[in-house]
Amino acid sequence: MANSSRSEKMNLKVKPIDNSKNYDLIRKLIQSKTRDLLLFDLAIETGAHAKQLLRLQVSDLHGLKVGDRVPSLLNKEDKNKPAILGLKSHEAFERFMAQKKPRLEDFLFKSRKGDGPLSLSSASRLVSGWYKQVGMNGMNGLLSLRKTWEHNQDQANRKQQMIKAEDIAAISYTANIIQTKTAQELVYRELEQAIVKGRLRPGEKLVTEKLARQMGTSRIPVREAIGRLEARNFVKVEPKKGVRVSELSEKNLKEILAIRLLLELEAASKGTLRSNEGTLQRLRKINSQYTDAQAKNDADEALRINEEFHFTIYRQAQMPILFSMIQNLWNQVSPYYHIMFRQTLFHDPKTGSISHRKIIEGMAEKDPLKVSKWLKTDLVDSTDFVIGVMRSIQTGESKN
């Protein structure tokens, strides 16, 4: 109890960066130092513990988009859920990759004395040096960055509470509030993720004015976001009927599966040849989490972990254009997986995990043919399951 009390008192004394002037001064100071900028942005946008940040490897962020979860960083408020990758962190990571060209297994914040990560004391001294150079007093290294995240969360929550309940009651999906100069990008990512995760359902109508009020923005970034979503076939805009989330037919799903098999088997084959023991350990851990989620019939969590499993393999191919194409196809079918898996009991809980185990075995043996065989089984089985549920719903039958 005494230690807990001391910790709480210390936390109260830690000052955040609570004004935009100081925030901009630090960013300007470290703008050319891509590693430092990435540390700063990740700490402020995720609120992750310093030890988690310093253990991050390049592979943990490689291939992620704005709004994606970072499995290695746990959410401070809900420790069962990963933190979210923010826009500035994503931009800083892209610059870091372009400048440093690190290996996937490298630590993001590597010590200059070797291949290991920066120590906690070294990182804290680094951050304290920023405060000193811009004339900020009373700050406390990395703790102040985490406190800044808490301060920003409080500000966002207060603003969200000001939105009148009647303004959001007319729409089934509650969007996260947007308060940033880059509103267009974040509105787009917010809506994209809502569609991909099935929170905005296929066929659901989108009302620009209501979405703008929900997210605390003008209608302009919402309209622009809808235009981008239409270009990627996420939404359909019809004269006099408005905007609706796109719906897929059985024919569409089969066509997408055919393309996915071409792209994903290629990525998995290349990834198999580039894999190492670290990759295999990560995949085994992810598959164990997948099995647990299936056993609990937690559809959304199982699908999230399943995506993490597959994308971990595809990132090993180190083919960013191919990876981007795969991501786009996954995003198009994801709403159907989330919705269909919620509407019925899970299919045989052993099916996915068995395919995954065989894929891991093939990667350990450096056998692309074995990996391709079981990956194809996995993709075909899951698509057949979704099509089966679609048919049962269309004919009025119930698998429940």
Q: Is 322 helix (H, G, I), strand (E, B) or coil?
A: helix
Domains 2-157 and 165-245 share a fold: no
Tell me the per-residue pLDDT of 207-238, one tens digit each, with 9 for 90 and over.
988 888 887 788 888 888 888 888 777 788 88
Average pLDDT, the chain: 80
Tell me the per-residue pLDDT of 108-139, one tens digit each, with 9 for 90 and over.
998 877 788 889 999 999 999 999 998 888 88
The CATH superfamily label for domain 250-394 reads GntR ligand-binding domain-like (1.20.120.530)
How many other CB atoms are there within 10 angstroms of residue 81's CB atom? 13
> For the chain, which residues make up each domain, given as ranges?
2-157, 165-245, 250-394
- What DSSP letter does each residue of 186-223 carry, written as one string? HHHHHHHHHHHTTSSPTT-EE-HHHHHHHHTS-HHHHH
165-245, what's its fold? Arc Repressor Mutant, subunit A (1.10.10)
Mean pLDDT of 288-297: 84
Residue 155's pLDDT is 67
Residue 349's pLDDT is 45
The predicted model scores a pTM of 0.53
The CA-CA-CA angle for residues 9, 15, 17, to 5°, reads 155
Tell me the per-residue pLDDT of 64-85, one tens digit each, with 9 for 90 and over.
877 778 877 876 555 556 778 8
Q: To the nearest whole percent, how much of the chain has pLDDT over 90? A: 22
Q: Which of 245, 248, 196 is nearest to 390 (CA)?
A: 248
How many other CB atoms are there within 10 angstroms of residue 223's CB atom? 15
Residue 167's pLDDT is 46
Say whether pLDDT at 262 is over 90. Answer: yes
Burial of 137 (0-12, 13-18, 19+ CB in 10 A): exposed
Collect all residues with Cβ–Cβ distance below 8 Å to 32 and sequence separation of at least 6. Answer: none
| Interatomic CA distance for residues 316 and 271, integer angstroms | 4
Say whether pLDDT at 245 is over 70. Answer: yes
Q: Which of 327, 317, 353 is nearest to 59 (CA)?
A: 317
Which one is predicted more confidently, 18 or 42?
A: 42
Class level of CATH domain 2-157: mainly alpha
Residue 76's pLDDT is 56
Residue in this structure with the two tokens 């622009």, named with its chain if needed: 224
Say whether pLDDT at 205 is over 60. Answer: yes
Token digits of residue 18: 């609570």
Which one is predicted more confidently, 336 or 396?
A: 336
